[in-house]
């Protein structure tokens, strides 16, 4: 929201927490947007995405000018950014962003601003580029960063750390469990694990366990002989045999029927894989198994729906894919990659600075899948035009807000935290009734994944 020139507005939304007056310096401005997130202590950095790619810049105590001029403190390689576009200053636990009369405007929280207070996670959109405020500690050591993975858009620090982890694990033969919310792109990461490893020349076989009829799971995994059961008119090799020398990807592994789990455990332990109805001994599995899930398998273990021994066998190495809301600097690069893929259908589309502001302000509970759907709708609305305007993004987002998004208990808890514990606000963001949202929090039940 905007506050008057004599200080912050009196009105505070339920999910907003304002800094104490002594914590935040006063400003004299005609329009000041207040970004309401609990303040923190420590240093600050910016994760920048522009034409030069992704990079991280640590902020000092002196205000810094952002612009396309070589004399700017932070140079943005972007023709739509003014020479002196905006100024960013650190004020303890807060960051003050001030537009310097730029041509295309400075956007924070989807709104064009003159001055804005920001804190961790605040995204600043300038021209076609974005700057995300992130906490910085001198001893930050969340993992070794690496170059982005081929075919995976996003150069934020979380994704560079993920790239380093993927490249390390790709060299191994042990199972890997990939965790991530619905729509984050788990299969892309699994394909990167395959492509970066010694089995890259072998087959990549993907199977969605949740899409298989319960009675056919074992047949699909291990194969069957002709006549092994009613309907088995032909012999089938099975996924393990098809992935010989390569990678077998089992998506939604939490949906694997309990009676099929011992056979998978036996295969992972290096024993024989035998087709249903086969006589004699089988053959030793020679496929690296990578699994993925959007739920916490440990919860399934506690409910008795998943074997504890199989769980420990699968989680030798775990890859966590951060949701899009935790890597806002990736939103625009991913959006551009999606628009490039859509070019044969909709032509070349360029997002306006205001449209970029709209995209970076959204929470994206459906992650990349939701972003793709919004861009496809917006591109359809823009037929005959070359620019994707903010109004088209907003129109597409309105349709998304009317469509319930898949939420599990953990995602619901995170959503509640982002909205300051306000159930009504969190339920609106999740696009579900308040009663359903409360049930999600207490029982872990709710809208099923798409």
The answer to whether residue 419 scores a pLDDT higher than 50 is: yes
> Contact, 339 vs 349, CB < 8 A?
yes
Give the pLDDT score at 233.
64
Whole-number Å distance between alpha carbons of 208 and 252: 6
The residue written with tokens 């087959």 in the block is 203
> Contact, 447 vs 436, CB < 8 A?
yes
Among candidate residues 447, 385, 391, 390, the one with its CA nearest the CA of residue 415: 447
Give the pLDDT score at 437.
76
Residues 262-284: tens digit of each pLDDT? 989 988 887 677 766 666 666 77
pLDDT classification of 104: cutoffs 50, 70, 90: very high
**Alpha-carbon dihedral of residues 192, 369, 318, 193, nearest 10 degrees?**
-10
CATH fold, domain 157-320, is Rossmann fold (3.40.50)
**DSSP string of 156-224?**
SHHHHHHHHHHHHHHT--S-EEEE--TTS-HHHHHHHHHHTSTTTTS-EEEEEGGGS-GGGHHHHHH-B
CATH fold, domain 43-136, is Tumour Suppressor Smad4 (2.60.200)
Residues 169-184: tens digit of each pLDDT? 999 999 999 999 999 9
Give the pLDDT score at 92.
87
Kindly report the pTM of this predicted structure.
0.72
Most confident of 215-224, 237-246, 342-351, 402-411: 342-351
Residues 61-90: tens digit of each pLDDT? 899 999 999 999 999 999 999 999 999 999
> For residue 89, with 0-12 CB atoms within 10 Å meaning exposed, 13-18 middle and 19 or more buried, which class applies?
middle
Whether the domain at 43-136 and the domain at 324-402 fall into the same CATH topology: no
Q: So what's the architecture of 324-402 in CATH?
A: Orthogonal Bundle (1.10)
Q: Where are the domains positioned within the chain?
A: 43-136, 157-320, 324-402, 409-444
Give the pLDDT score at 450.
40
- In angstroms, the first-to-last Cα distance of the chain is 34
Residues 10-64: tens digit of each pLDDT? 322 323 333 444 444 444 343 444 444 444 446 899 999 988 888 889 998 899 9
Whole-number Å distance between alpha carbons of 364 and 91: 29
If residue 10 lies in a helix (H) or strand (E), which one and from where to where?
none
Give the pLDDT score at 258.
92
Between strands 74-75 and 64-67, the pairing is: parallel
Give the pLDDT score at 370.
95
Whole-number Å distance between alpha carbons of 327 and 241: 38
Residues 132-155: tens digit of each pLDDT? 998 887 655 556 778 888 888 888
């Amino acid at each position: 929201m905007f506050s008057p020139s004599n200080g912050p507005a009196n009105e505070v939304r339920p999910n907003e927490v304002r800094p104490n007056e002594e914590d935040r310096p006063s400003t004299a401005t005609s329009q000041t947007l207040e970004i309401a997130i609990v303040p923190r202590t420590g240093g600050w950095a910016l994760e920048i995405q522009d034409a030069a790619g992704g990079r991280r810049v640590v902020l000092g105590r002196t205000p810094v000018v952002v612009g396309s001029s070589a004399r700017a403190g932070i140079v943005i390689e972007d023709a739509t950014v003014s020479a002196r576009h905006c100024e960013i200053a650190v004020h303890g636990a807060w960051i003050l962003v001030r537009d310097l009369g730029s041509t295309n405007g400075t956007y924070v929280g989807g709104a064009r601003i003159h001055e804005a207070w920001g804190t961790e996670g605040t995204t600043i959109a300038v021209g076609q580029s974005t700057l995300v405020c992130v906490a910085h500690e001198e001893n930050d050591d969340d993992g070794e960063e690496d170059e982005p993975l081929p075919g995976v858009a996003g150069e934020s620090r979380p994704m560079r750390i993920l790239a380093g982890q993927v490249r390390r694990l790709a060299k191994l033969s042990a199972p890997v469990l990939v965790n991530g919310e619905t729509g984050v792109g788990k299969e892309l990461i699994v394909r990167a694990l395959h492509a970066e490893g010694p089995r890259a020349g072998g087959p990549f076989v993907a199977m969605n366990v949740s899409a298989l009829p319960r009675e056919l799971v074992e047949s699909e995994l291990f194969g069957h002989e002709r006549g092994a059961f009613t309907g088995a008119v032909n012999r089938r090799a099975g996924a393990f045999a098809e992935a010989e020398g390569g990678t077998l990807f089992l998506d939604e592994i939490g949906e694997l029927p309990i009676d099929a789990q011992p056979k998978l455990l036996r295969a992972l332990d290096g024993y024989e894989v035998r087709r249903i109805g086969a006589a004699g001994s089988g053959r030793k599995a020679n496929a690296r198994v990578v699994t993925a899930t959007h739920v916490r398998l440990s919860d399934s273990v506690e409910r008795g729906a998943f074997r504890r021994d199989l769980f420990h066998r699968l989680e030798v190495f775990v890859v966590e894919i951060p949701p899009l809301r935790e890597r806002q600097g990736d939103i625009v690069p991913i959006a551009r990659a999606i628009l490039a893929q859509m070019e044969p259908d909709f032509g070349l589309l360029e997002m306006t600075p205001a449209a970029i502001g709209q995209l970076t302000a959204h929470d994206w509970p459906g992650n990349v899948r939701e972003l793709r759907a919004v861009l496809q709708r917006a591109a359809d609305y823009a037929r005959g035009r070359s620019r994707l305007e903010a109004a088209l993004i907003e129109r597409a987002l309105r349709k998304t807000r009317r469509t319930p998004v898949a939420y599990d208990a953990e995602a619901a808890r995170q959503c509640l935290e982002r909205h300051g514990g306000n159930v009504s606000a969190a339920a609106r963001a999740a696009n579900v009734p308040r009663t359903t949202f409360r049930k999600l929090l207490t029982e872990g039940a709710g809208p099923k994944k798409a």
